[in-house]
A and B are shown apart, each in its own frame.
Chain A
């Protein structure tokens, strides 16, 4: 009987599990895989890959390796397949693409030793480090994308070194992403608390109206709300018109394309996520406790600090967690109302996915963002009281 009930329970959960598997675990796994996969060179230049696996890495490779590389590359180019290889190698080190294309173009006129011709063409071909770089790209795995996501790379001899200053941006971007998210979370928590409290003590009719006022923007598309801020904040928009007509400022204030606009629009978009869990927790706090505290002689501030605040903490934690998780992945709002210095890491994940077609680095950045967010949430789970219950009162 027991087993049959268990089976039934399992069957009822099965669709949910399947959904989680198909829509969450599989794409996540595929993303992680793409962040370490290194398939371009081995699949398009198989013979060169095989030869380089045997190369000792000290002296220059033999004539056969030079010849095979150029031969395979030219074949790939004729079949329109050379692009992925060239892009992969160029990401290993900037300039390899040009070096290889220069060699390929000149190779039409080679007669005799490919090695000597190439070295005569460009002295870089006499540098074993170039071959080291190509060998490093022969898969099947690469740490390159993860290293690059934290502004590191492999230098000569496989030592991990920091990338050049002009290429080092990702750590800065991660810091900026978390900074914006923390500020937005704090503002949301501070604003949501009194709103949720007011809603929880109003008569039912007014509560319903208040909840609708929270829900209607919540149901409106993010894009619409962000665009609305764009219109309100612009140089010749209503706020500037008001400020100028009241003679508060002489010149219109620049508000759009600033960090201020990003905070404002993000807080507006995310505020309902903080209000709703807080409201549901506050509704559950019995007024009896506060009365009991009052009858024992506790003044108002003390009643709040000792009774109300700890009891409402699960709501604060749930709301803050929700707002933080959503802000970390924000993309549209900073892209529309922020300047170039206000873009968050998602902007770059989108850039590498859509524009520069480097899915390896996009996947590594996404995986890192997920990992860091996970760690932060885990720390909060351990340290902040009320976090574990996640807003559900136990």
Chain B
């Protein structure tokens, strides 16, 4: 009796185990982004908007841009993400490396984007930027530019920067007096890279590195660091919540994130349709009511009402800031990130 029960349960288990992989393909559509307030609002207007309209289930998750997750997914064949938000140079490299699907422009309207918004594997999502900020409640008069950020005598206390070469190298050169327009010209030369690292050496003992976008706000909010370079959207949201973090627009570095579809996604067609929906005018206009979004969809980005309502749109400050060169980082990203990591470990 015992034996037959055991046999039955074993066989049932084995059948279930065999059936599981095929069940996996029937999972909900999974969207992955960088989290924060943007994602909370995107969930309401973009993900759930699509879910309601099409009668499908959409779930979402958060990552910190660790693109390697996609590489291991594609390599192992266990694809758990469908649509993913990716920074521009990472999108281009992942596309070359074959971990993102080429977008199907018969399902996505290619003409709605601002210039550069439609790429082989990426549909322009939103503009984002980082800028220098500090808590005026603690420091009434903080650093006004990156040269000031390096002045530890005048502005004592720790500083927080994003852990990685991208943006940090540009900031170091600007702090060393390189004009914004020449940053990538200088950074493309070996001497320029040495100069950036030498400048970073000066500030290294005073830097606390952050990884996820929520950290700079926590670090400044708790007084652990005095000044930080963090995402503009989140800083503005904190300001609306009562914090006194003035944005220094002259320290802006900005770029665009893209929506991409993970290679061999079991929900490929559905994922492409979701990308098309998320870049459509109507849901983005709804999103713009709640969040200072800076979309890559031309009709929303150029809508005077949206621009007026969201003074923090990075697109409105593009003249003051530095556009993070996608071409430069596609070409040099792998080398500089490796060098940066070796440097940071020493």
Contact = CB atoms under 8 A, between A and B. Distances in A.
Interface of A: 77, 79-84, 86-87, 90, 94-95, 97-98, 101, 166-169, 172-173, 234-236, 254, 256-257, 339-341, 343, 348, 351, 353-357
Given A80-B96, A83-B93, A235 B208 contact: no
A169 B341 CA distance: 9
A52 B346 CA distance: 39
Nearest to B194: A166
Contact of A167 (B209, B331, B339): B339
A30 to B, nearest CB: 12
B102 interface: yes
B102 A355 contact: no
A160 B163 CA distance: 32
Contacts of B337: 355-356
Contact of A356 (B95, B98, B338): B338
Contacts of B344: 340
The majority secondary structure among interface residues of chain B is helix
B339 A234 contact: no
Given A101-B331, A169-B345, A355 B96 contact: no
Return the 6 tightest CB-CB contacts between A and B, nearest first.
Answer: A83-B97, A80-B98, A357-B68, A169-B342, A236-B223, A340-B344
B222 A356 contact: no
B222 A235 contact: yes
B74 to A, nearest CB: 10
A31 to B, nearest CB: 14
Contact of A77 (B96, B332, B341): B96
Given A80-B102, A234-B223, A340-B163, 18 more contacts: A80-B98, A82-B96, A90-B334, A97-B334, A168-B342, A172-B345, A172-B346, A235-B223, A236-B223, A340-B207, A340-B345, A341-B346, A348-B345, A354-B68, A356-B337, A356-B338, A356-B341, A357-B67
B335 interface: yes
B343 interface: yes
Nearest to B101: A80
B331 A166 contact: no
B342 A166 contact: yes
Contacts of A353: 68
Contacts of A94: 335, 338
Interface in B52-66: 66
Contact of A166 (B67, B94, B339): B339
Interface string B157-198: 010000100000000000000000000000000000000010
A178 B341 CA distance: 20
Nearest to A348: B345
Nearest to B330: A101
A355 B66 contact: yes
A80 B261 CA distance: 14
Contacts of A341: 345-346
A339 B345 contact: no
B345 A173 contact: yes
Contacts of B334: 87, 90, 97, 356
20 contacts: A83-B93, A83-B94, A166-B342, A166-B343, A172-B345, A234-B224, A256-B224, A257-B158, A257-B208, A339-B208, A340-B163, A340-B204, A340-B209, A340-B344, A341-B345, A348-B341, A353-B68, A354-B68, A356-B68, A356-B341
A81 B263 CA distance: 12
Contacts, number: 87
A98 B331 CA distance: 6
A94 to B, nearest CB: 5
B27 interface: no
A83 B345 contact: no
A393 B68 CA distance: 48
Contact of B222 (A77, A82, A234, A343): A234
B38 interface: no
A275 to B, nearest CB: 32
Nearest to B94: A83
B69 interface: yes
A343 B344 CA distance: 10
B155 interface: no
Most interface-central of B66, B93, B343 (chain A CB within 10 A): B66
A81 B332 CA distance: 19
Contacts of A172: 345-346
Contact of B97 (A84, A236, A256, A340): A84
B34 interface: no
A339 B163 CA distance: 12
B71 interface: yes
Nearest to A252: B223
B187 to A, nearest CB: 14
A86 B95 CA distance: 13
